């Protein structure tokens, strides 16, 4: 599988901003071992902080505002840094028609990010 990478080389080790509010909590880092989704595409949106991924053998780093498209069938693992927020979105291959069949990193604008948040509304289908 060929990979299309955009802007990830520019994603340097960004230090985490220290919380100044006394009520703030700390989010621990998360490691997800390699997995493969055969029936769904994934879009991972880095809302805050950074995440290091290995997708089909290629290293990718996401920083604030970036997202990565992982097509169905691509093996991937990831490490979400402490105090970071990564939003996973799933797109069943049976419900979406796309020609995007390569790993692709996208940089979002503030405007795009606000609109993108609409897709983050959790599905209640599992309650039916």
3-state helix, strand, coil in the chain (%, to 5): 15, 40, 45
Q: H-helix or E-strand containing 115?
A: helix 110-116
Report pTM.
Answer: 0.69
C-alpha 55/C-alpha 102 separation (Å) is 10
77-94 confidence digits (pLDDT tens): 999 999 999 999 999 999
Query: Which domains does the chain carry?
Result: 31-121 (2.60.120.10)
Q: Is the distance from CB of 51 to CB of 79 less than 8 angstroms?
A: yes
42-82 confidence digits (pLDDT tens): 999 999 999 999 999 999 999 999 999 999 999 999 999 99
Phi and psi for 125 in degrees, rounded to 5?
-60, -35
């Amino acid at each position: 599988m060929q990979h299309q990478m955009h802007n990830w080389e520019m994603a340097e080790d960004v230090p985490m901003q220290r919380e100044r509010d006394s009520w703030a909590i700390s989010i621990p880092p998360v490691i997800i071992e390699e997995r493969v989704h055969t029936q769904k595409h994934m879009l991972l949106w880095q809302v805050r902080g950074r995440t290091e991924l290995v997708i089909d053998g290629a290293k990718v780093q996401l920083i604030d505002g970036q997202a990565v498209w992982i097509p169905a069938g691509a093996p991937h693992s990831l490490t979400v840094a402490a105090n970071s927020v990564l939003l996973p979105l799933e797109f069943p291959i049976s419900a979406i028609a796309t020609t995007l069949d390569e790993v692709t990193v996208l940089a979002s604008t503030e405007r795009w990010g606000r609109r993108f948040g609409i897709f983050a509304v959790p599905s209640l289908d599992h309650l039916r």
